[in-house]
Amino acid sequence: MTKNNRVRYLLRRLLVLVFTVWLSASIIFIVPRLAPGDPIQAIITRMSVQAGPIPGGDQLVEEWRERFGLNDPLGVQYLRYMGGLLTFDFGYSLASFPANVNDMVARSLPWTLGLLTLTVVITFLIGNSIGALLAWQKTPRWVRNVLPVSMVFTSVPSILVALILLTIFASSLGWFPITGAYGREVEPGLNLPFIASVIHHGTLPALSIILVSFGYWALSMRGMMITIQGEDYTTLAEAKGLNPLFILYRYMVRNAILPQVTALALTLGTMVSGQVLIESIFAYPGMGNLIYRAIRDQDFTTIQGASYIVILTTALAVFIIDLMYPLIDPRISYGD
């Protein structure tokens, strides 16, 4: 593996990263503007419903459109939009003016990153562990019979699982809160009451994602393990009389895990999109809930800023996973 190979590999991946983010950002700009209706008019209409008729409403709509640059040609709006993305200046929220989109994203992003990281790690570990045990010939029969039962929610949409958990454990039993990320009675900070409240509030949203996701990893890992069991190196290790657990980890799981890491990079975007629905159901103060409210209110600037950050973080995560391949499997080089 030469230095030139590593540099070329890194440059290719960076170009793919930049192209992916640019294309996604362009789609974010176009799609909201294809929706019927005028965002400023929608805001004025909601204000009228809440506070009664607003004198000079048409003039106010025109002034706000001018203020936010919505009267400019689309090309000008697009260049201004792309310039804002490059400098991470997303402007003001249309629906919550004078709130700044950057501030709204800064408040929401840590919650989404925390929930997503937790659910991805737990789902990946549990799913692959179950898949390996299902395929391993030395797994006790009762374990093989019990494990498939745990995947009963795999074919159920995450939004339905969220509603089931919300109905049973929050509404009926009252074991968990219905909405929010922490209780009002605790002071935010690095203290045990706040951490315990965050875990308590985040349990149901996390379970809603984990229960429907780990079955995919279990089934795919099982298929990879069955294939590897017939390989010559596995047969040789068994003939040498090596410890079965050592063979399971060193020869089987280690060789089967690389395609799973590849699948993780490919499915990360799907998991992020699923979390948007979960956050909106539980009113969890993350990026998903922020995007949902922005779409509902036709808040162009918030949709653009929040979606761009979600896409950028997801693309960076995939990029990092891609760079980790040679560390996971030494047979792969950056020049491949």
CA-based nearest residue to 112, from 311, 324, 319, 322: 311
Q: Which CATH superfamily is domain 3-35+88-328 in?
A: MetI-like (1.10.3720.10)
Has residue 22 got a pLDDT over 70? yes
Contact (Cβ atoms closer than 8 angstroms) between residue 305 and residue 90: yes
Task: Select, from the ranges 16-20, 131-135, 181-185, the one with the highest average predicted confidence (pLDDT).
Answer: 16-20
Q: Give the mean pLDDT of 152-167.
A: 81
Residue 132 — pLDDT band, cuts 50, 70, 90?
confident
Task: Report the interhelical angle of 39-51 vs 57-67 (nearest 10°).
Answer: 140
Task: Return d(Cα 8, Cα 276) in angstroms, integer.
Answer: 36
3-state secondary structure of 282: coil
Report the pLDDT value the prediction gives residue 59, as an integer from 0 to 100.
67
pLDDT at 255 over 80: no
**What pLDDT score does 55 carry?**
60
Backbone angles phi, psi at 177, to 5 degrees: -70, 155
Q: Is the pLDDT of residue 58 over 70?
A: no
Percent of the chain clearing pLDDT 90 (strictly above) = 0
Is residue 295 over pLDDT 60? yes
Q: Rounded to whole angstroms, what are the CA distances from 211 to 112, 138, 172, 216?
A: 18, 26, 20, 10
Please tell me the predicted confidence (pLDDT) of residue 212.
Answer: 82
> Taking the CA of residue 15 as centre, how many other CA atoms within 13 Å lie in the half-sphere pointing to its CB?
6
pTM (two decimals): 0.72
What tokens appear for 217 in the block? 């990893």
pLDDT at 179 over 60: yes
Residue 256: per-residue pLDDT: 79
pLDDT over threshold 80, residue 95: no
- Evaluate if residue 262 carries a pLDDT over 60: yes
Q: How many helices (H) and strands (E) does the chain have?
A: 13, 0
* Helix pair 254-281, 158-165: axis angle to 10 deg: 60
In sequence order, the β-bridge partners of residue 100 are 92
Averaged over 108-119, what is the pLDDT?
A: 85
Higher pLDDT, 19 or 267: 19
- The residues spanned by each domain of the chain are 3-35+88-328
